Amino acid sequence: MNPIWGHLVGVSTLILMVLFVALWIWLWRKRHKPVFDRMAKIPMEDDLNAEDATSAEENEHHE
């Protein structure tokens, strides 16, 4: 095996590690918190809307 492969693997690992840490730092900035909070509430809103629709359908069948 050519020794250059060891250097290429090492450099690519280092680049990927730096990109991972940079992305992690960027995502944890305070300015992203409102967006992530809104996104975290989306599944709950969908559940509430589904329950409201189900209740409305049940009321129509009972009347």
pLDDT digits (tens, 9 = 90+) for 11-57: 999 999 999 999 999 988 888 889 989 998 888 887 667 666 666 56
pTM: 0.53
Residue 51, classified by CB atoms within 10 Å of its CB into exposed (0-12), middle (13-18) or buried (19+), is exposed
Expressed as residue numbers, the domain containing 36 is 4-62
**Which pLDDT belongs to residue 13?**
97
3 state SS for the chain = CCCHHHHHHHHHHHHHHHHHHHHHHHHCCHHHHHHHHHHHHHHHHHHHHHHHHHHHHHHHHHC
**Which pLDDT belongs to residue 18?**
98
Work out how many domains the chain is built from and give that number: 1
